[in-house]
């Protein structure tokens, strides 16, 4: 076992991991290795059975240059193992799928594919992790004996971390990034693509922006409430006691929790491959890692990465000479530093380091040519052109869908158009780690004709919220409901800029309806309507809801302050008590004021109400406050006001009925849309369109 | 019309007539009591006095909020007594016997003016009516078509009626009017077509073009003047007016004839130039410093008021909450009381109601006391910072003016030396022809010349002192007024607030008592 050779290192990690004596530990270690290699067997895809006959000759033979290169590599390998006998052998010239030795740098094939997303590292990374199925390494603590070409990997859509890294590195260097494959060590979770201890990135909360402190020096210093010192002491004591008790508990917990990662006996030995992107090109400002299994971006100081043996790309090969006992935290990524990085072809390294984004590119090229003549020239990659068809690109999941398990969450992904209802992603959040009790389900849709793009279902309250993109014929933005039946509690949000009335939200249930407005010229912002019970007799008589509207009990409107009017003539709240026949107006307040003025028009007692007549008298039909503005004491003004309000009330009633009708219509339209979901095909994707047509034709027959 | 006049006695507008006119406008279904009350003249906005044989307009001044006044079909001969009706938007004086347009200068809000069928022969005295949109002066005695050009200054005018005037019979009448009033939309009740407008512009372009140019020039001049005025105002609020550039220095030498004469002495010109340069640079410093300080002062004040407003907003929110809490409870209680009528239950309810009102009073007063305390503290802080700002400003300004004085003294000494040297030279050689006669005359006597120079020096020093004291005075005034204003607003607010709380509590109390009285009666 190679692990035995690394005795010293093993002991180091072992000492702080657990205090076992070394022979016992070694036994256990070898056992663990066997176990993991056995468990990994079930994943196995029989690579030996793949058909290599059709592969081009560059895959099966070595050119003269390549042979030379291999000799140099061999030489380098031997020198290295002579100089650093304690270190593991380099991963430098593994066999390819045809059993031919190839230098690792020539396996990287820089390629830029014709998809806009693949011009960016995030697009490349997510494509690689979506498209390929991950296979664990045969032996978790040694690099594989072979490294297949990216084309073969793409063809069979599966590979180990080295295959992932080489493919990703090929795409990134093709897109102009300064990217490198890294051979190193990482944690168990990272090597085995185990994300069940991680929070799902979709559930991560955005960092809270600390509120800017008001620099105004004028502030009131409130004296602190007097407190008894004795009580405080007692309290502190009590807290101390409970705390110490809690701490003990916590310590136990910590032991339990920390125990889990430490249980991994191979911590620090697990081989992993990933991608390093250095700054300088494509506006990258800081070096970072990409884990090819997840496509996630990691800082170079991330604790999941435990060490680096060597890195390479299509230009050169570097061996890390820095101490990795503390992980990758303190590593320097200045590749021209020959103390930190042992370079295989020293001169060409300089070229790769010279920034190609500099304006004097011509001189660079000149230099490159001149120097390469004197040195060894890296042969072109033996790998043929990497090709991915649009179809493959758009359907990356080899098994139709992809499932990722996170801590208390499950994420499922589908390619667009695979599901009838346009579903592309579903996130299920669970209450427990065993994923039995569902808390919340979020679904994302694509290409739906009703522009629905997300649906949230709260499994506990059964409240569903649909989110729509801009452009729904009913201007819907969001719709929350428990069922699509009318009057069961709906909240609808609109893209209000397209609406003439500035309505952005309306929530309705059986007893009330509230409408929220924004940006209106009359400064209205809220309208609240209370409904009474329907007439029972009519209902029993079988008349439908439309014909038997709910009686309106009260309409309440709130207005923002209109800066052009004096505050005591600017209405803030207007209540029409329709049944009581009372209208109440509350006016705004000037800033220094505290009691608002009010005008109340009461029902006329003992007089028959007539539509076209107003009876106003100071004693019992109108009330106002002593400090009301002079205007409000003028009967003529009040008379006009009352007329106006009467007219307004009538208009409002119509309004309310219209709103109710609109809600019914929305529900009808939504129900219809849900019942037969249509997907729209982009007019630019011909393949997709053809496919859809075929499908519909097929259905018809 | 004359017959009509003969039959009926001409009137003068009096209170009775106005009262009657107001009452006529009242709606029928308004209660009688209300109707009598509603005739508060302050709130009357519309008044119609047509067909009243009015000869003279009078007694309209109490109707200060009037926006619409109809005085048509009377026998008015002179427009008068309308000066105080500044809110008028609509004025109808048609079918009268007016001969001259006058007395409308204060009615700047006027949008619609009708002088139809009068005896006016000239359009004039309308320069202030910039809001005027509709103007009817048809069927009058206008004879000179060129007078219409006067209306160009009414920028808002869109509708004009001129029909029935003598000049309407002139050839190209319409084209002429449209050419000179291109913004008209309606002329003599007809829409002005684009084609007409084009034709008119073409026909009279020789006349309108120069006019337009002239107007544009005047406008540009006005604008630059306004901009200058604005800048000056800004400088004045920062107390640094006329300090940029050499204005102060020039004012020192203004009216100083002797100094101008002496400038012809050899070396004096250079001295003066050097002096000016340094003096102006000190002034420039002053100016910049003044502007900087001004910004600082403004920022300080706005910071203070921002905080005050925050406190008041919180206070308002809190009291609103208290009151609405109370009101919801109170309404219920009043209803119950109404139901219960008299008896023990009602008594206890009433007592409870009283108790609640007392609690509300307590809560509101406590809140007010707290807020007033907070604001008091804030005001003290504010006063302190204002004082600090003012005193630093004073100190720095004094320092800079001392620099000015030093420069002046230095200059004076140097000048003195030159003059004395010249004097000595002249004494030695009295027939030196190198100096002009008037300068030579100054040097006739040593005392005279020294006196002259000393006087002009002291005048200059005084001028500098004056400027300094102006500035110091200004900053002192600012300090006093700003502090006083802040304290005054707060004390006013406090008083008003307490008054209102009292009033509110009283009203509530009365309401409670009223239910007591009402009930037994029913």
A498-532 pLDDT, tens digit per residue, is 888 889 999 998 889 999 999 888 899 999 999 98
| pLDDT above 80: residue B515 | no
CA distances from B366 to A463, A652, B312, B315, B496 (A): 45, 41, 15, 11, 15
User: What average pLDDT does this structure show over A466-494?
Assistant: 90
- Name the β-bridge partners of A505: A493, A516
Helix (H, G, I), strand (E, B) or coil at B70: strand
Report whether A289 contacts A181 (CB < 8 A): no
User: What average pLDDT does this structure show over B153-171?
Assistant: 90
Report whether A689 contacts A681 (CB < 8 A): yes
Percent of residues, chain A, with pLDDT higher than 70: 76
Band (pLDDT 50/70/90 cuts) for residue A682 is low
User: Residue A592: which of B29, B312, B323 has the nearest Cβ?
Assistant: B312
A51-105 pLDDT, tens digit per residue, is 888 888 888 888 888 888 898 889 888 988 888 888 888 888 898 888 888 999 9
Distance from CA of A453 to the nearest CA of B (A): 40
Whether residue B368 and residue A216 make contact (CB cut-off 8 A), yes or no, is no
| pLDDT above 60: residue B280 | yes
- Name the β-bridge partners of A456: A442, A465
- Name the β-bridge partners of A448: A679
User: Quick one: which of A336, A327, A340 has its CA closest to A298?
Assistant: A327
Report whether A426 contacts A444 (CB < 8 A): yes
Distance from C-alpha of A579 to C-alpha of B97, rounded to nearest angstrom:
58
What are the residues whose beta carbons fall under 8 Å from the beta carbon of B519, sequence distance 6 or more?
B337, B338, B341, B342, B346
Of residues A381 and A18, more confidence is placed in A381
CA distances from A699 to A181, A262, A445, B416 (A): 48, 56, 23, 114
| pLDDT above 70: residue B88 | yes
Distance from CA of B520 to the nearest CA of A (A): 17
So what's the pLDDT on residue B509? 87
User: Is the Cβ of A605 closer than 8 Å to some Cβ of chain B?
Assistant: no
User: What average pLDDT does this structure show over B414-443?
Assistant: 79
Band (pLDDT 50/70/90 cuts) for residue B217 is very high
Distance from CA of B127 to the nearest CA of A (A): 28
Q: Which residues of B touch A630 (CB under 8 A)?
A: 42-43
Smallest CA–CA distance from A613 into chain B, residue: B29
Band (pLDDT 50/70/90 cuts) for residue B433 is low
Angle of helix A7-17 relative to helix A22-40, nearest 10 degrees, comes to 100
Task: Determine the number of helices (DSSP H) and then strands (DSSP E) in chain B.
Answer: 12, 10
User: What average pLDDT does this structure show over A152-162?
Assistant: 89
User: Quick one: which of B30, B419, B146 has its CA closest to A637?
Assistant: B30
Candidates B314, B316, B381, B495, partner chain A, best to mutate (most A CBs within 10 A): B316
| pLDDT above 60: residue A246 | yes
Report whether A557 contacts A586 (CB < 8 A): no
Q: Which residues of B touch A639 (CB under 8 A)?
A: 27, 30, 34, 38
Side-chain half-sphere CA neighbours of A245 within 13 A: 6
Distance from C-alpha of B479 to C-alpha of B468, rounded to nearest angstrom:
17
Among A6-10, A184-188, A487-491, where is mean pLDDT lowest?
A: A6-10
| pLDDT above 80: residue B127 | yes
| pLDDT above 70: residue A615 | no
Distance from CA of A218 to the nearest CA of B (A): 6
| pLDDT above 70: residue A197 | yes
So what's the pLDDT on residue A349? 44
Of residues A523 and B245, more confidence is placed in A523
* Helices (H), ranges, A214-228: none
Distance from CA of A423 to the nearest CA of B (A): 48
User: What average pLDDT does this structure show over B94-117?
Assistant: 92
User: Residue A617: which of B31, B313, B367 has the nearest Cβ?
Assistant: B31
A344-392 pLDDT, tens digit per residue, is 887 644 444 444 444 444 444 444 444 444 456 788 888 888 888 888 8
User: Residue A637: which of B33, B43, B382 has the nearest Cβ?
Assistant: B43
Whether residue A627 and residue B500 make contact (CB cut-off 8 A), yes or no, is yes
Distance from CA of A509 to the nearest CA of B (A): 24
Of residues A421 and B518, more confidence is placed in A421
Q: Which residues of A touch B296 (CB under 8 A)?
A: none
CA distances from A37 to A43, A48, A236 (A): 10, 18, 55
CB neighbours of residue A189 within 10 Å? 16
Chain centroid to CA A480 = 22
Band (pLDDT 50/70/90 cuts) for residue A179 is very high
Distance from C-alpha of A207 to C-alpha of A201, rounded to nearest angstrom:
13
User: Residue A626: which of B30, B34, B503 has the nearest Cβ?
Assistant: B503
Report whether A468 contacts A453 (CB < 8 A): yes
User: Quick one: which of A313, A285, A315 has its CA closest to A299?
Assistant: A285
Task: Determine the number of helices (DSSP H) and then strands (DSSP E) in chain A.
Answer: 16, 25
Of residues A685 and B142, more confidence is placed in B142
Distance from CA of B354 to the nearest CA of A (A): 19
Among A405-409, B31-35, B394-398, where is mean pLDDT lowest?
A: B31-35
Report whether A510 contacts A487 (CB < 8 A): yes
Side-chain half-sphere CA neighbours of B58 within 13 A: 10
So what's the pLDDT on residue B395? 93
So what's the pLDDT on residue A353? 44
Residues 217-246 of A with CB under 8 A from B: 217-220
So what's the pLDDT on residue A28? 59
DSSP code string of B50-66: -SS-EEE--S-TT-TT-
What are the residues whose beta carbons fall under 8 Å from the beta carbon of B412, sequence distance 6 or more?
B453, B457
pTM for this prediction: 0.70
- Name the β-bridge partners of B68: B46, B90
Judging by DSSP bridges, how do beta strands A305-312 and A296-299 pair with one another? Answer: unpaired
Of residues A233 and A686, more confidence is placed in A233
User: What average pLDDT does this structure show over A588-604?
Assistant: 81
User: What average pLDDT does this structure show over A18-23?
Assistant: 46
User: Residue B307: which of A218, A592, A595 has the nearest Cβ?
Assistant: A218
* Helices (H), ranges, A461-570: 536-540
Report whether A452 contacts A679 (CB < 8 A): no
Percent of residues, chain B, with pLDDT higher than 70: 92
User: Is the Cβ of A620 closer than 8 Å to some Cβ of chain B?
Assistant: no
User: What average pLDDT does this structure show over A108-132?
Assistant: 89
Of residues A675 and A622, more confidence is placed in A675
User: Residue A631: which of B43, B307, B367 has the nearest Cβ?
Assistant: B43
User: Is the Cβ of A614 closer than 8 Å to some Cβ of chain B?
Assistant: yes
User: Is the Cβ of A615 closer than 8 Å to some Cβ of chain B?
Assistant: yes
Distance from C-alpha of B144 to C-alpha of B124, rounded to nearest angstrom:
13
Band (pLDDT 50/70/90 cuts) for residue B462 is very high
User: Quick one: which of A31, A290, A277, A303 has its CA closest to A189?
Assistant: A303
Q: Which residues of A touch B30 (CB under 8 A)?
A: 614, 616, 635-636, 639
Q: Phi then psi for A361, rounded to 5 degrees?
A: -70, -35
Angle of helix B194-203 relative to helix B205-237, nearest 10 degrees, comes to 100
Instruction: Compute the count of residue pairs across chains A and B with CB atoms less than 8 Å apart.
Output: 98
B124: tokens are 């004039």
So what's the pLDDT on residue A244? 77
So what's the pLDDT on residue A255? 52
DSSP code string of A257-282: HHHHHHT-TTTTT-EEEEEEEETTST
* Cα dihedral across residues A356, A359, A360, A365: positive or negative: positive
| pLDDT above 80: residue A681 | no
Q: Provide the 8-state DSSP code for A359.
A: S
User: Is the Cβ of A604 closer than 8 Å to some Cβ of chain B?
Assistant: no
Report whether A317 contacts A310 (CB < 8 A): yes
What are the residues whose beta carbons fall under 8 Å from the beta carbon of B481, sequence distance 6 or more?
none
Q: Phi then psi for A406, rounded to 5 degrees?
A: -115, 180
Candidates B32, B36, B38, B380, partner chain A, best to mutate (most A CBs within 10 A): B38
Distance from C-alpha of B365 to C-alpha of B362, rounded to nearest angstrom:
5
What are the residues whose beta carbons fall under 8 Å from the beta carbon of A69, sequence distance 6 or more?
A103, A106, A376, A378, A379
Cα A304-A305-A306 angle, rounded to 5 deg = 110
Average of per-residue pLDDT values in chain B: 86
DSSP code string of A626-677: TTS-GGGG-HHHHHHHHHHHHHHHHHHHHHHHHHHHHHHHHHHHHHHHHHS-
E strand map for A536-581: 552-559, 571-577
So what's the pLDDT on residue A364? 43
CA distances from A669 to A215, A466, A487, A663, A681 (A): 52, 14, 15, 10, 22
Average of per-residue pLDDT values in chain A: 79
| pLDDT above 80: residue A463 | yes
| pLDDT above 50: residue A565 | yes
Among A207-211, B26-30, B98-102, B293-297, where is mean pLDDT lowest?
A: B26-30
Buried b (16+ CB within 10 A) or exposed e, A489-520: ebbbbbbbeeeeebbbbbebeeeebbbbbeee
User: Quick one: which of A113, A664, A662, A605 has its CA closest to A386?
Assistant: A113
CB neighbours of residue A616 within 10 Å? 22
């Amino acid at each position: 076992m190679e692990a035995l050779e690394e005795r010293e290192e093993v002991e180091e990690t072992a000492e702080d991991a657990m205090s076992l004596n070394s022979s016992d530990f070694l036994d256990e270690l070898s056992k663990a290795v066997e176990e993991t290699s056995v468990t990994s067997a079930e994943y196995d895809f029989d690579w030996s059975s793949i058909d290599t006959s059709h592969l081009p000759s560059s895959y099966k033979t070595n050119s003269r240059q390549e042979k030379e290169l291999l000799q140099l590599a061999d030489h380098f390998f031997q020198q290295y193992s002579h100089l650093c006998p304690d270190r593991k052998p380099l991963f430098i010239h593994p066999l390819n799928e045809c059993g031919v030795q190839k230098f690792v740098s020539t396996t990287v094939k820089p390629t830029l594919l014709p998809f806009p997303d693949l011009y960016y590292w995030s697009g490349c990374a997510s494509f690689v992790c979506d498209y390929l199925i991950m296979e664990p390494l045969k032996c978790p603590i040694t690099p594989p004996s072979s490294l297949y070409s990216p084309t073969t990997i793409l063809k069979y859509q599966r590979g180990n971390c080295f295959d992932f890294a080489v493919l990703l590195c090929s795409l990134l260097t093709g897109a102009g990034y300064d990217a490198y494959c890294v051979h190193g060590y990482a944690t168990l979770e990272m090597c085995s693509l185990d994300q069940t201890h991680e929070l799902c990135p979709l559930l991560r909360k955005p960092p809270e922006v600390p509120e800017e402190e008001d620099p105004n020096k004028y502030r009131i210093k409130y004296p602190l409430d007097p407190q008894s010192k004795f009580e405080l002491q007692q309290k502190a004591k009590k807290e101390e006691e409970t705390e110490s008790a809690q701490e003990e508990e916590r310590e136990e917990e910590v032991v339990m929790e920390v125990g889990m990662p430490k249980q991994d006996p191979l911590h620090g030995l697990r081989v992993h491959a990933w991608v390093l992107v250095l700054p300088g090109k494509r506006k990258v400002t800081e070096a970072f890692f990409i884990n090819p299994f997840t496509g996630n971006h990691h800082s170079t100081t991330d604790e999941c990465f435990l060490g680096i043996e060597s890195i390479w790309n299509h230009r050169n090969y570097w061996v890390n000479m820095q101490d990795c006992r503390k992980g990758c935290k303190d590593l320097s990524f200045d590749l021209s530093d020959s103390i930190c990085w042992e370079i295989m072809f020293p001169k060409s390294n300089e070229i790769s380091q010279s920034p190609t984004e500099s304006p004097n590119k011509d001189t660079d090229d000149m230099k490159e040519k001149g120097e390469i003549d004197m040195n060894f020239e890296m042969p072109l990659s033996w790998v043929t052109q990497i090709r991915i068809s649009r179809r493959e690109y758009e359907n990356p999941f080899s098994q139709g869908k992809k499932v990722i398990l996170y801590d208390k969450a499950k994420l499922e992904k589908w390619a667009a158009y695979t599901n009838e209802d346009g579903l592309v992603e579903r996130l299920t959040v669970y209450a427990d780690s065993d994923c039995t009790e569902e808390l919340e389900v979020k679904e994302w849709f694509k290409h739906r004709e009703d522009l629905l793009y997300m649906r949230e279902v709260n499994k506990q309250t059964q409240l569903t919220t649909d989110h729509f993109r801009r452009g729904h014929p009913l201007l819907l933005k969001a719709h929350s409901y428990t069922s699509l039946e009318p009057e069961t509690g709906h909240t609808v949000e609109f893209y209000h800029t397209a609406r003439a009335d500035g309505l952005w939200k309306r929530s309705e249930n059986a007893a009330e309806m509230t409408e929220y407005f924004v940006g209106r010229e009359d400064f209205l912002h809220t309208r609240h309507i209370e409904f009474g019970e329907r007439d029972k007799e009519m209902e029993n008589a079988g008349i439908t809801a439309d014909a038997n509207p709910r009686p309106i009990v009260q309409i309440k409107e709130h207005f923002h302050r209109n800066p052009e009017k004096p505050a005591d003539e600017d209405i803030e709240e207007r209540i029409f008590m329709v049944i009581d026949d009372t209208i109440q107006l509350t006016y705004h307040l000037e800033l220094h004021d505290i009691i608002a003025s009010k005008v109340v028009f009461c029902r006329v007692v003992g007089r028959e109400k007539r539509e076209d007549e107003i009876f106003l008298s100071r004693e019992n039909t109108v009330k106002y406050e002593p400090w009301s503005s002079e205007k409000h004491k003028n009967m003529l003004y009040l008379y006009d006001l009352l007329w106006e309000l009467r007219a307004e009330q009538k208009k409002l009633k119509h309004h309310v009925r219209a709103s109710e009708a609109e809600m019914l219509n929305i529900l009808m339209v939504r129900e219809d849309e849900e019942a037969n979901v249509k997907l729209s095909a982009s007019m630019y994707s011909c393949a997709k369109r053809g496919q859809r047509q075929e499908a519909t034709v097929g259905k018809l027959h | 019309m004359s017959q009509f006049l003969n039959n009926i006695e001409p009137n003068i507008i009096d209170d009775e007539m106005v009262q009657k006119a107001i009452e006529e406008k009242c709606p029928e279904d308004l209660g009688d009591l209300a109707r009598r009350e509603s005739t508060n003249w302050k709130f009357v906005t519309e008044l119609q006095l047509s067909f009243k044989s009015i000869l003279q307009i009078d007694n309209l001044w109490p109707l200060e909020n009037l926006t619409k006044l109809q005085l048509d079909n009377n026998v008015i001969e002179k427009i008068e007594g309308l000066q105080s009706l500044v809110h008028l938007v609509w004025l109808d004086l048609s079918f009268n016997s007016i001969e001259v347009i006058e007395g409308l200068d204060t009615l700047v809000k006027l949008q619609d003016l009708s002088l139809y069928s009068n005896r006016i022969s000239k359009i004039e005295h309308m320069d202030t009516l910039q809001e005027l949109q509709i103007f009817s002066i048809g069927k009058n005695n206008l004879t000179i078509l060129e007078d219409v050009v006067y209306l160009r200054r009414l920028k808002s005018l869109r509708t004009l009626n001129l029909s029935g005037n003598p000049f309407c019979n002139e050839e190209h009448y319409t084209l002429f009017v449209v050419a000179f009033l291109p913004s008209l939309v309606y002329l003599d009740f007809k829409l002005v077509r684009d084609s007409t407008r084009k034709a008119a512009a073409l026909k009279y372009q020789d006349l309108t073009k120069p006019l337009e140019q002239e107007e544009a020039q005047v406008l540009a001049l006005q604008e630059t003047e306004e901009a200058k005025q604005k800048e000056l105002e800004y400088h004045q609020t920062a107390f640094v007016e006329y300090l940029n550039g050499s204005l102060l220095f020039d004012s020192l030498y203004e009216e100083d004839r002797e100094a101008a004469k002496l400038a012809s002495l050899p070396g004096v010109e250079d001295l003066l130039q050097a002096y000016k340069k340094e003096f102006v640079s000190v002034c420039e410093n002053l100016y910049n410093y003044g502007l900087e300080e001004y910004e600082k002062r403004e920022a300080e004040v706005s910071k203070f008021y921002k905080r005050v407003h925050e406190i008041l907003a919180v206070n308002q929110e809190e009291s609103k909450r208290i009151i609405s809490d109370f009101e919801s409870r109170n309404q219920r209680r009043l209803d119950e009381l109404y139901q219960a009528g008299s008896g023990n239950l009602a008594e206890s309810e009433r007592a409870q109601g009283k108790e609640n009102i007392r609690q509300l009073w307590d809560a509101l007063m406590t809140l007010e006391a707290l807020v007033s305390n907070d604001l008091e503290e804030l005001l003290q802080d504010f006063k302190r910072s204002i004082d600090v700002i003012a005193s630093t400003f004073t100190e720095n300004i004094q320092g800079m003016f001392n620099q000015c004085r030093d420069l002046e003294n230095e200059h004076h000494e140097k000048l003195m030396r030159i003059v004395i040297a010249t004097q000595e030279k002249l004494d030695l050689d009295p027939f030196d022809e190198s100096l002009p006669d008037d300068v030579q005359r100054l040097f006739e006597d040593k005392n005279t010349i020294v006196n002259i120079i000393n006087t002009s020096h002291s005048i200059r020093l005084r001028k500098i002192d004056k400027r300094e004291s102006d500035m110091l005075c200004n900053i002192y005034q600012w300090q006093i007024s700003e502090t006083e204003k802040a304290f005054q607003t707060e004390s006013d607010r406090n008083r008003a607030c307490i008054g209102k709380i009292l009033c509110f509590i009283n009203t509530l109390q009365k309401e409670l008592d009223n239910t007591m009285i009402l009930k037994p009666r029913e």
